[in-house]
């Protein structure tokens, strides 16, 4: 959850030399940014430095990162005919070879110390950016498509799925040892729209990636689904073909466990803003979280990404507290 991020001074220093997407396209810089947090903290995994919006870029859309504002698409999808501007999804994996190079380089540099996680944005979340032209509080334009242009919406979501599958398989071929799919904008949908326009594609990605790995003669890797604010679909997500379901901080761990059953691994879910608390309180909150989740089928994490003004010392306190209380839980 943004373990390589602006909260680290060394990240800001490395990133200062070039714009965001140029950074994403430089395998050496991505490798360095991925490794920086591991030099500071005894983390249990690395996640490749990249961005979910490299996929719309590879489909031919222009995306810029505006400082202080976030991603911006100068020419978003406004009409159904705009879909014709998008490239063939079969070309996406070759367009994103720089991500594969970054993964391979990082795997070599890690030398087996910790596993490396690859990731992508889920189809609905990518669609929201492509239609809205950037971030949005309401996703009204993207949801307008779902209601007024349901066929075109499905066409776009299918195209994105067709692009994501070889991209994720390619990440594993390059060396990724787990994959996370981010459905960051699940909460804007509600149960009906989610089950119609998000869940089928989330399922499809898992099923087709697993089949693609088998076809390529690659060993299966664990897959994680994180649908932010998607608490209304926890049961469905637990049965969507992923080994791990990530939770945001608005979900009570015990209730989530009751709803998903014993066999699915849960990941999460400390409120990232808890890192503004004292180091002592962070320790108490972590202990409570670990007790609530229990020692089985659980990966400790934040419930969303780190913010730029967070103190690295407090991130360290979080990581140390997780290790300390994990050991105590296992002893008991």
Inter-residue contact 175 to 103 (CB < 8 Å): yes
Give the DSSP H or E segment for 246: strand 244-246
Inter-residue contact 161 to 205 (CB < 8 Å): yes
- 7, 15, 25, 298: which is the annotated catalytic residue? 15
7 catalytic? Reply is no
51 catalytic? Reply is yes
Q: What DSSP string describes 126-172? A: HHHHHHHSB--SS-HHHHHHHHH-HHHHHHHHHHHHHHHHHHHHHHH
Q: Which residues of 257-284 are buried (b: 16+ CB within 10 A; e: fewer)?
A: beebeeebbbbbbbbbebbebeeeebbe
- 7, 25, 51, 208: which is the annotated catalytic residue? 51
Beta strands (DSSP E) in 11-52 are 46-47
> What is the DSSP-derived secondary structure letter of residue 263?
S
25 catalytic? Reply is no
129 catalytic? Reply is yes
Inter-residue contact 131 to 141 (CB < 8 Å): yes
- List C-alpha distances in Å: 162 to 58, 88, 90: 13, 9, 7
Spatial distance between the Cα atoms of 191 and 183, rounded to a whole number of angstroms = 14
Dihedral through CA 140, CA 143, CA 147, CA 148, nearest 10?
70
Inter-residue contact 189 to 124 (CB < 8 Å): yes
- 7, 25, 107, 129: which is the annotated catalytic residue? 129
Pairing of the two strands 244-246 and 265-270: parallel
Cα-flanking dihedrals φ and ψ of residue 266, to 5°?
-105, 145
6 catalytic? Reply is yes
Residues tagged active-site: 2, 6, 15, 51, 129
């Amino acid at each position: 959850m943004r373990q390589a991020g602006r909260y680290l001074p060394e990240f800001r220093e490395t990133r200062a030399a070039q714009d965001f997407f140029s950074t994403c396209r430089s395998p050496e810089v991505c490798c360095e940014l991925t490794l920086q947090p591991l030099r500071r903290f005894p983390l249990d995994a690395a996640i490749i430095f990249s961005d979910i919006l490299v996929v719309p870029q590879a489909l031919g859309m222009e995306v810029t990162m505006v400082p202080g504002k976030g991603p911006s698409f100068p020419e978003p999808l406004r009409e159904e005919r705009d879909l014709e501007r998008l490239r063939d999804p079969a070309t996406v994996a070759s367009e994103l070879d720089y991500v594969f190079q970054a993964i391979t380089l990082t795997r070599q540099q890690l030398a087996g110390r910790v596993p490396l996680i690859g990731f992508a944005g889920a189809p609905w979340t990518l669609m929201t950016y492509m239609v809205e032209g950037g971030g949005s509080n309401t996703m009204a334009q993207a949801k307008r498509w779902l209601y007024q242009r349901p066929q075109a919406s499905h066409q776009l979501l299918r195209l994105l799925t067709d692009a994501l599958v070889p991209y994720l398989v390619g990440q594993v071929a390059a060396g990724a040892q787990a994959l996370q799919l981010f459905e960051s904008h699940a909460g804007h949908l509600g149960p009906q729209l989610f089950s119609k326009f998000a869940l089928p594609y989330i399922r499809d990605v898992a099923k087709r990636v697993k089949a693609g790995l088998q076809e390529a003669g690659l060993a299966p890797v664990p897959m994680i689904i994180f649908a932010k604010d998607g608490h209304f679909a926890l049961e469905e997500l637990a049965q969507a073909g992923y080994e791990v379901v990530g939770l945001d901080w608005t979900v009570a761990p015990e209730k989530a466990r009751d709803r998903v059953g014993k066999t699915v691994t849960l990941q999460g879910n400390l409120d990232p803003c808890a890192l503004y608390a004292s180091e002592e309180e962070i320790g108490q909150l972590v202990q409570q979280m670990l007790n609530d989740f229990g020692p089985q089928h659980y990966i400790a994490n934040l419930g969303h990404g780190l913010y730029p003004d967070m103190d690295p010392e407090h991130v360290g306190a979080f990581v140390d507290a997780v290790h300390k209380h994990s050991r105590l839980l296992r002893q008991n």
